[in-house]
Amino acid sequence: MKIKRPLKRSIFLFILAFLTLLCFVFSIITYRAFNTSLYRAYNRRMVDIINNVMSHIDLDDLSECIETGVESEKYTKLVTFMDSIMEDFDIHYLYIVKPVLEGEHHGMMNVISADTAEGRATDPDGYFLGYVLYDVYGEKDLLAYQDALDSDTISYYKNFSTWGYDYTAAMPLINSKGEHFALLCVDIEVRDVEFAIMTYTISVVLLIVILGVIFTILFILWMNRYVTEPIFRLEKSVDVFARSSHEQVDPNFLVYEDPGIHSQNEVEVLSNAITQMASDIKTYAINILEAESQVEDMKNQMSYMDIVAYQDALTHVKNKAWYDNVEKRVNDEISKGEARFGIVMADLNNLKKINDTYGHEHGNDYIFGACHKICVVYEHSPIFRIGGDEFVVLLENSDYDNREELIRKLQDVFDDTSSDEQRSPWRRYSIAMGMAIYDKNIDKDMNDVFKRADELMYKNKVESKMARE
């Protein structure tokens, strides 16, 4: 048979696809994480700067300076203070402006443009109060500044301008008349930082690619030595054996050539098993008898596994999986009109307190002991542990007939243990219980009876708690 999908090729393609997906996912996650973290940090930093500057602004005085075009003493001090901010903080620009959108020519009025000492020295004139910049800001940018001026909170946006690519935080300045007269803005240059993020992302992806290539080479070499090549040799031996044994009637001619695999892994185990199997075929008649015995043993083991699968490991009563099976059987009886049963719900009290105070080992003692008490009372009924501290008793046959007597007996048993001060705390068992009987007039299935029993149990738990308090 021609192999359509060689194992080596499949492994290589899978690793290549996985590596590609890994690079793609990591690049997106890395870029988004660093980008989000960066701008959150910028926001906090710019808000601190804005709040610091705002604490030194006399809004009415500054508003009057803009209207009159005359610099006041407070204005001069504010300029000096904003210049000191430029010296102390690594920001691109700090300024106060007002968009001018009236008339034919739109522009941006300068109120204050902070600068460093070096900037003042090289460009001592700078921009003065009331100076309007035309043909510098685009109409879209001017509208963005106007929207920020009309707002009542800080606005954030990216700003491409003559001075570079900046991330801007703009705070509207509002005088005592409620007029939004100017914008306090902080710009931080982000092009280099975003470039650094992109560089870091690419570095991470390249690192993953390099490690992936190294891993792929090493993995393929390892697979070739310990898996694919041994499997290929094993496949050839098995193929030759299959051809020679086809329609063979003499077991003595069934010869299997051992491929001599020593990979010390599952492939070697498989090879040895096939070698042994080929040898065993020669004596198939004897082995058939042995196989029948083995099949019987396997059946017994499966039966034992079934028991284990449906038994609670701690209490050895039936578990939730078995309860679900029984529920199907009971619902089938309900549909046939043959149902006659009741349900007792029991929930352990104080289990969390026992676990927290005395440890989970004594908590398990508490669960096991309480379950044993329930089993003693309902010795003819199946009991299920459906939760950590929840048990269900399915009342049928004699226990169903004696249900009222048994529920009282159960109550008495747990009243005695819970009130016995001579017992250890984890042996003073206490439960809340509720019993409901199937009524064909109101119950559609077993779950309806379970719900009524659960409600009665919960009511009993609340009443018991109120009584203790």
Q: 241 or 305, which is more confident?
A: 241
Instruction: Report residue 297: phi and psi, to 5°.
Output: -60, -40
Specify the number of domains making up the chain.
3
pLDDT exceeds cutoff 60 at 1: no
Using 50, 70 and 90 to split pLDDT, how confident is the model at 121? Answer: confident
Among 195-209, 284-298, 406-420, the range of highest mean pLDDT: 406-420
Question: Has residue 87 been placed in a domain?
Answer: yes
Question: Cβ of 215: how many Cβ atoms within 10 Å?
Answer: 13
Q: Which domain-ending residue is among 274, 291, 308? A: 291
Among 86-90, 300-304, 388-392, the range of highest mean pLDDT: 388-392
Write out the DSSP string of 204-234.
HHHHHHHHHHHHHHHHHHHHIIIIIHHHHHH
Same domain, 271 and 333: no
Q: What is the pLDDT of residues 297-327, one digit of tens each?
A: 666 565 556 566 788 889 989 999 999 999 9
Question: Has residue 342 been placed in a domain?
Answer: yes
* Average pLDDT in the chain: 84
* Residue keyed to tokens 């542990």: 385
Using 50, 70 and 90 to split pLDDT, how confident is the model at 286? Answer: very low
Q: Is the pTM of this model over 0.75?
A: no
Q: What is the pLDDT of residue 285?
A: 36
Same domain, 461 and 323: yes
Could you give the strand order of the β-sheet that contains 383-385, starting from the edge strand earlier in sequence? 318-319, 383-385, 390-395, 342-348, 431-437
Q: How far apart are CA 171 and CA 149, in angstroms?
A: 7
Question: Has residue 308 been placed in a domain?
Answer: no
Write out the DSSP string of 419-466.
H-TTS-GGGS--EEEEEEE--TTT-SSHHHHHHHHHHHHHHHHHHHHH
Same domain, 444 and 333: yes
Q: Which two tokens stand for residue 164?
A: 């570079």
Question: Cβ of 72: how many Cβ atoms within 10 Å?
Answer: 15
Domain range enclosing 141? 56-189
Question: Has residue 428 been placed in a domain?
Answer: yes
Same domain, 151 and 80: yes
Q: What is the pLDDT of residue 355?
A: 93
The arithmetic mean of pLDDT across residues 138-142, rounded, is 84
Q: What is the pLDDT of residue 407?
A: 94
Same domain, 279 and 386: no
Using 50, 70 and 90 to split pLDDT, how confident is the model at 465? Answer: confident
Using 50, 70 and 90 to split pLDDT, how confident is the model at 283? Answer: low
CATH number of the domain to which 184 belongs: 3.30.450.20
Q: What is the pLDDT of residues 46-78, one digit of tens each?
A: 899 999 999 999 999 999 999 998 999 999 999
Expressed in angstroms, the distance from the first to the final Cα of the chain is 79
Q: What is the pLDDT of residues 409-435, one digit of tens each?
A: 999 999 999 888 889 999 999 999 999
Q: 392 or 210, which is more confident?
A: 392
Same domain, 164 and 232: no
Percent of the chain with pLDDT over 70: 87
Query: 360-377 vs 403-419: helix axis angle to the nearest 10?
Result: 150
Same domain, 360 and 274: no
Q: Which domain-ending residue is among 189, 215, 244? A: 189
Question: Has residue 387 been placed in a domain?
Answer: yes
Q: What is the pLDDT of residue 153?
A: 92
Same domain, 397 and 272: no
Q: Which two tokens stand for residue 205?
A: 């992806």
Q: 397 or 274, which is more confident?
A: 397
pLDDT exceeds cutoff 70 at 149: yes
Q: 342 or 36, which is more confident?
A: 342
Taken in order 422, 428, 432, 435, is the CA torsion positive or negative? negative
Same domain, 459 and 334: yes
Same domain, 275 and 322: no
Among 41-45, 56-60, 104-108, 225-229, the range of highest mean pLDDT: 56-60
Question: Has residue 77 been placed in a domain?
Answer: yes
Question: Has residue 44 been placed in a domain?
Answer: no
Same domain, 461 and 344: yes
Distance set, CA 433 to CA 44, 96, 372, 377, 395 (Å): 57, 74, 15, 13, 14
Question: Has residue 214 been placed in a domain?
Answer: no
Same domain, 433 and 395: yes
CATH number of the domain to which 434 belongs: 3.30.70.270
Q: What is the pLDDT of residue 205?
A: 78
Q: 417 or 122, which is more confident?
A: 417
